[in-house]
Amino acid sequence: MSDLMRPMSFAHLMAWARAELAHDGAIFGVHATKMWRPASGRVITDSFGGTIANPVGPAAGPSTQLANNILACYLTGARFMELKTVQKMDGAELRACVAKPCIDMQDEGYNCEWSTELTVEEALTEYVRAWFLCAFWGRELGLGEIGTVGFNMSVGYDLAGIQLPKIDGFIEGLKDASGTPA
């Protein structure tokens, strides 16, 4: 197995999910009997001025870098996705600075990763794919509406970096992806 994250196309993710559901009754290893469904009449939680159907979800990390992992979190009940941080240093440049494995567990645990291992553009594409996967499967399987799922973006690490065109484009692209290639 490679130590590099390799995003898969939306078409590949959908074909995989459909085939696994038809053959095994699961999507990305989450069996249909274990998928979380909101209770009827459930009170929706207020979150940053919006609503979410369940106030739990994954912290930023490997589980929130790839679309298939975000969907697996969604299927098990996560409705607040803390997306992995993007910053001005990305892709190969960032990977060259972070030793692998990024979690050292010899005596005490230290996580030395900083941001997504993907490029900023790849991260935007993955998060848009994840949103569509959750929207589609939420409706298809009766797991809830996408409007009750929060995607919490994280950008860093200083104001100068956040003001760069690629980070500003990421922020604007997540706010409204209709004008992006994703």
Mean pLDDT of the 25-29 span:
98
| 93 within domain boundaries | yes
Q: Is 2 within the bounds of a domain?
A: no
Q: What is the DSSP letter of 161?
A: H
Q: Is residue 106 part of a domain?
A: yes
Q: What pLDDT, on the 0 to 100 scale, is given for residue 89?
A: 82
Instruction: Tell me which of 63 and 151 has the higher pLDDT.
Output: 151
- Looking at residue 80, what is its pLDDT? 92
Domain count, the chain: 1
Residue 182 resides in a domain: no
Return the bridge partners of 52, or none.
45
- Under 8 Å between Cβ of 17 and 77: no
Q: Identify whether 181 is part of a domain.
A: no
- Pairing relationship of beta strands 30-31 and 26-27 according to DSSP bridges: antiparallel
Domain containing residue 14: 10-176
Supply the pLDDT for residue 180.
92
User: In this structure, is residue 149 part of a structural domain?
Assistant: yes
Look up residue 9 and give its DSSP letter. Answer: -
* Calpha distance 180→106 (Å, rounded): 43
Is residue 69 included in any domain, yes or no?
A: yes
Query: pLDDT tens digit string along 57-110?
Result: 998 877 788 999 999 999 999 999 999 888 888 888 877 777 666 666 676 665
Rg (CA), the chain: 17
User: Which residues contact residue 108 at a Cβ distance below 8 angstroms, ignoring those fewer than 6 apart?
Assistant: none
pLDDT at 100: 64
117 in a structural domain: yes
Tens digit of each residue's pLDDT (9 = 90 or more) over 7-17 = 999 999 999 99
DSSP state of 148: G
